[in-house]
Amino acid sequence: MILFYQKIHDILKVLKSSTGIEFSTTKEQRDTKRNGDVPKQIAESVALADKVFGIATLIKSDIVINKEFVSSKTKMDSALSIVTLDSARKLFDLHSKKENMKTVTSQIKTIFTNTSDNDIKRIAEDLIEFDTNLLSFNDDYQKIAKEFTIMETTLTPQVIDFSSYFNRYAIDDSGLKEHMSSDVFKFIIKDTVIFDKLNALFWSGKVKSSTVINYILYKIIDHHLNVKPRSSKECNNVIGEYFPLLVLKAHTFEYPSHLLEDLEEKTSKLADNVIKSAQHLISNINYLDEFKKEEWIQELGGIRVIIGAPRRVLSSYKIFDNYDDLVISSKNSFYDIMLKLRRFKEMRKQKSLYIPQNIDEYLFSFTDVAQGNIHYSEEANILIIPFEVLKFIEINGVKKANIINTLIAKELTKFLITKENFMARNGGTNVYKSKFGKALSCIVEKAKHENIAQTRSISDLEEVTCSIAAIRIAYSAYLTDLVKNPATISRIHGKYGMKNVMNPKIEKNFYLDIKPFLCNINDHQIRNFVDKTIQTFDSYQHAFNCSSPNHVELCHVFPDNHKV
């Protein structure tokens, strides 16, 4: 924001009389503004930018992101994928600077009638540079716009109108009030994948003025605040809550570099094992037709596993002495946040320190990865395992593969539960038609029997279902690993052979390994319910059995683990 102010500081005096907007121009006044009412600064900046750079025209145009931006290093390096402005193309001939100058200066003169020719020329040059950067690198914009437009002017029920937010900061300013009712404040933000696209737009470096990005960012935040008056502190809390991936934490200090590589290799193998176990699980679900089984198995088999996403942001933890400078929290002011974003953007330009593909895939993970959780993105079919999770692998030199397997399996089980419930709602199951899939239905019945269903939401019970299924899948992977390595079995209980795989000591070792998984379930009642349900597995040897009070078997959702 302040960089934008500095850039146009030289023309503020010229604009002041023409725009009717008062701006602080002394250092003392600017410092006061910086630390004061930031939202009002945003509103004022937009009003000014609307008059100088034609932001209303910019907003009303299609802003598009090339899909290849996320996965192509070439696209990243050349920054081909940013903004196309259809209306601006009609105004400017990109191949003729002279014609551009003539068009722009003519427009500026109609707005600022008392401005000198030299000042008009300087303003025109700034404007041309701005628009040329936006327009000059993607001729195939129409094709991309059809699929990836993230802002439109069409007014539909999905329109997010944030004008009331800025109205609160324009009570005594007639100039700002006028802008509140203009088209610049009316456009759609399609919120499904806006986060990573907005960041891609910002990080590209092609948008010279951060005002547009600040403006859109505040609109999104305000949307999550339900367009109600909130304090500055509350607004910053929302930033911390809805944009957690902007929190850049370096996890490399926890491990020596050589250990990081070893952990990465081990974890990748673990992830592969769990995915295979999940595929086996699907193949043994008896109520799925073969076509559906094959479809799900292929989908799981195509998962790309990314290890340690946070570490990929920086290749060495010695690049900056103080990582806290890059951490964005709810305590930061909006101004501080923008400065940190700029620092990261500058850091990103050092290509030796940055792996574009991985960090952009990291954006798919939203809140989970930023909080140190394993995340599976069904949209991108990517499983991301941050380094925070790797601390479970080795404790005092002892591998803890079972806990990692369980954590991975739980994330993948969400995929199964979602698919199951969808099939049930659409009558896709021949055996058990319900608004829930069979797995969740079992847990719902069991929760009723345990007298906790009345106080629990379906999302709580889905969480229980995923947790229990995850333990089953992880145990399957554990046994599969033991069968492949007889020496491991020997070390555990001093005997060889398949018949000893179900030895109680092996089961106890597994159960102890996954205790942290259970302990991390914060809800005491839910934790006990999961624990009690696991105990009914009869030492993990039988199929997942949800029974009614009359012991009438409802379903065998998951197969016997020893068959996998």
Range of weakest confidence among 249-253, 278-282, 302-306, 449-453: 249-253
pLDDT of residue 404: 80
The number of folded domains in the chain is 2
* Structural domain ending residue among the three candidates 227, 243, 266: 227
Residue 98 CA to residue 95 CA, distance in Å, equals 9
Hey, what long-range contacts does 279-285 have (CB within 8 A, 24 or more apart)?
Answer: 280/476, 280/559, 280/564, 281/416, 281/472, 281/473, 281/476, 281/558, 281/559, 281/564, 282/416, 284/558, 284/559, 284/563, 284/564, 285/557, 285/558, 285/559
Domain presence at residue 340: no
Query: Could you report the per-residue pLDDT of 4-52, keeping only the tens digit for each?
Result: 333 333 333 333 333 333 333 333 333 333 333 333 333 333 343 333 3
Domain presence at residue 439: yes
Q: According to DSSP H, which parts of 158-289 are helical? A: 163-167, 174-180, 194-203, 211-224, 232-242, 257-283
State which residues form the domain around 415: 400-564
Residue 141 has pLDDT above 50, yes or no: no
Domain presence at residue 113: yes
Domain presence at residue 474: yes
Residue 517 has pLDDT above 70, yes or no: yes
Q: What is the mean pLDDT of the chain?
A: 49
Domain presence at residue 167: yes
**Structure-block tokens of residue 489:** 């079995």
Instruction: Tell me how far apart the terminal alpha carbons of the chain are, to the nearest angstrom.
Output: 58
Number of Cβ within 10 Å of residue 146's Cβ equals: 10
* Structural domain ending residue among the three candidates 170, 202, 227: 227
Residue 562 CA to residue 479 CA, distance in Å, equals 7
Query: Could you report the per-residue pLDDT of 396-434, keeping only the tens digit for each?
Result: 555 677 888 888 888 877 776 666 555 554 544 433 344
Query: Could you report the per-residue pLDDT of 451-483, keeping only the tens digit for each?
Result: 776 677 777 777 777 787 787 777 777 776 666
Domain presence at residue 174: yes
Domain presence at residue 354: no
Query: Could you report the per-residue pLDDT of 259-274, keeping only the tens digit for each?
Result: 444 555 565 666 677 6
* Structural domain ending residue among the three candidates 227, 259, 294: 227
Length reported for the chain: 564
Domain presence at residue 424: yes
Query: Could you report the per-residue pLDDT of 173-198, keeping only the tens digit for each?
Result: 444 444 444 433 332 233 323 333 43
| Contact status, residue 468 vs residue 533, Cβ threshold 8 Å | yes
With 0.75 as the threshold, say if the pTM is over it: no
